[in-house]
Structure 1
Amino acid sequence: MTKEECFYLGKIVSKFSFKGEVLIKLDTDEPEMYTEMESVLVEYNENLVPFFIERSSLQKSTLLRVKFEDIDTEYDAEDMVGAEVYLPLSMLPELPEDKFYFHEIIGFDVEDATHGNIGKVVSVNDSTAQALFEIKKEDKEILIPMNDEFIQKVDKKNKTIYLNTPEGLVDLYLG
């Protein structure tokens, strides 16, 4: 399985006990959805390796305490710290029509209320305080904040996002 077929679940941030347990910092708004998993994919030497879970429980809000099968010592657990954890895309819960996962909208056309078609979504930048649509129109890149006030509709069937951006925002990039 490749990373493209998976979604990022979180990162192993520390070992937890001398029995090989680790803490995974989950990158999700609903960590309780991931307490009953049977296995995860751990990135190890640039490969995704399946690890089976003996038991897991939430620690604080987004930390998942996990005991993997065959990871029985502090030394084994230490080797996993820093590794990223993934799950297959098929395990993502279905979202209502007006919500979307970032990976789902790559390639969608973007229609602005004022400017018409302003390009295609090539990426979502979520490393800033507010996530941004990265839109490509010919040789220009347009960055639009993912703001609920700007998003009029997401039409998954026709792969189109309808925006109503503030006056002048799109002109900054196209002007």
Structure 2
Amino acid sequence: MAQSPTPNYISIGKIAGTHGLKGEVVLKHALGQRTALKDLKTLFIKDKTGSYLPWFLETAKIKSETETFVKLESLDTVEGARSIVQKEVWLAAADFEKHAAKNSVISFIGYIISDNGKELGQIEEIIEQPHQVLCRLNVEGKEVLIPLHEETLQKVDAKAKIVYVSLPDGLLDIYLS
């Protein structure tokens, strides 16, 4: 879900559905904290060509730990709001820094994964699943998925931006051989 294909934008979630009759939508996010997106002016949704289109925020209010009610400029009807349901939502990198909780898993994007003292690479995407979190990175030019859960995660050094793991024997061989 959380992805950084360019250094400029970071995926924070998606539009989960509509709310009310005036074009409000529910943003399901992975920012790691309840948020009303205070001072955020713009969020982005990718169009079919891969361009990031800006959507201007009119209002936002907290629904839950992972959801925020959002009213976007120019969406004034339920029908209009439906057009962006299930679309992925992106923030500019600077806005992401302001709104993501420092201890949230999504904030690990850009951190280095270190397996028993060997640096593997930089986290490019966080994929949250019901029972674990996967980090996508490139190792020796190949895409690798590293699971983060109680058995693999050793510690996180936020200052140095390093996630220390101890991977099961043979896990990397699956990707690199």
Same fold by TM (over 0.5)? Answer: yes
Alpha-carbon distance in structure 2 between the residues aligned to 1:72 and 1:136: 42
What do residues 77-114 of structure 1 show as CA deviations (whole Å, max 9, x unaligned)? 111111111101112148879x9833212xx36251xx
Does residue 1:86 correspond to 2:90, yes or no?
yes
Secondary structure of 1:170's partner? coil
- Equivalent residues of 2:36, 2:61 under 8 A apart: no
Secondary structure of 2:52's partner? strand
| Number of the residue aligned with 1:69 | 73
Does residue 1:170 correspond to 2:172, yes or no?
no
Moved more, 85-94 or 140-149: 140-149
- Equivalent residues of 2:27, 2:69 under 8 A apart: yes
Aligned residues with identical type, % of pairs: 23
Alpha-carbon distance in structure 1 between the residues aligned to 2:31 and 2:43: 15
| TM-score for the superposition, normalised by structure 2 | 0.67
- Equivalent residues of 2:114, 2:164 under 8 A apart: yes
Bigger RCO of structures 1 and 2 (CA < 8 A, at least 6 apart) = 2
- The one of 146, 149, 152 aligned to 2:148: 146
Superposed displacement of residue 51, structure 1 = 0.8
**Quick check: which has more Rg, 1 or 2?**
1
Q: Which runs of 5+ in 2 are unaligned?
A: none
- Counterpart of 2:121, as a letter, is K
- Equivalent residues of 1:9, 1:85 under 8 A apart: yes
